[in-house]
């Protein structure tokens, strides 16, 4: 039975940390990007696919198709979910996808965002989304790489 081994928010999606540290740490074998914009950009998908190590499956879905994909069994696949924003994960959970934990890895400064923790920024709307995810019993943590100590987002929202 397929298993979600990582659900990560990172506005860069695929980059060195994901490819090396998180793949090794989770023993994942299928990277799944869920992002409406990326799902419509075949050039960006091609560039990302070139950075995926040999032997690792790679898929890109919009939020609706991603939710449908995740509600099906995919054999022995260990899925690494990547999304640019926490709103994507709220959509997935509201569509019935079961998540235990979400790791915040990269949310850079942008309009409407203020500092949440170190170099992680979040808008008021994103903070409310974190609260909704926490209310669903999902652990939400900031952790850039697996060797970093995780910081619980609930404590940052008080």
How confident is residue 109, by pLDDT bands cut at 50, 70 and 90?
very high
pLDDT at 89: 98
Q: Where are the beta strands (DSSP E) in 38-142?
A: 57-61, 78-83, 101-106, 114-117, 120-122, 139-142
Q: How many Å apart are CA 140 and CA 122, to the nearest integer?
A: 13
Q: Tell me the average pLDDT across 7-32.
A: 92
The structural domain count of the chain equals 1
How confident is residue 42, by pLDDT bands cut at 50, 70 and 90?
very high
Q: Tell me the average pLDDT across 126-131.
A: 98
pLDDT at 140: 98
How confident is residue 148, by pLDDT bands cut at 50, 70 and 90?
very high
Sign of the C-alpha dihedral, residues 86, 101, 49, 122?
positive
In this structure, what CATH number is given to the domain that contains residue 87? 3.40.35.10
pLDDT at 129: 98
Per the prediction, the chain carries an average pLDDT of 95
Q: How many Å apart are CA 10 and CA 14, to the nearest integer?
A: 8
Range of the domain at 98: 3-156
Q: Tell me the average pLDDT across 103-108.
A: 95
Q: Are 154 and 134 in contact (CB under 8 A)?
A: yes
Annotate 70-88 with b (16+ C-beta within 10 A) or e (fewer): beeebeebbbbbbbbbbeb
């Amino acid at each position: 039975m397929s298993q979600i081994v990582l659900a990560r928010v990172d506005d860069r999606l695929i980059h060195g940390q994901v490819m090396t540290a998180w793949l090794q740490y989770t023993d994942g074998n299928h990277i799944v990007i869920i992002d409406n914009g990326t799902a419509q950009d075949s050039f960006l998908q091609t560039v990302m696919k070139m950075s995926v190590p040999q032997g690792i499956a790679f898929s890109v879905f919009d939020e609706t198709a991603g939710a449908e994909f995740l509600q099906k069994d995919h054999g022995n696949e260990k899925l690494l979910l990547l999304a640019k924003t926490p709103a994507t994960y709220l959509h997935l959970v509201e569509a019935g996808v079961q998540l235990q934990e979400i790791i915040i890895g990269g949310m850079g400064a942008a309009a409407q965002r203020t500092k949440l923790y170190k170099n992680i920024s979040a808008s008021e709307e994103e903070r409310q989304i974190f609260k909704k995810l926490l209310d669903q019993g999902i652990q939400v943590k900031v952790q850039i790489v697996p060797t970093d100590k995780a910081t619980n987002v609930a404590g940052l929202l008080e």
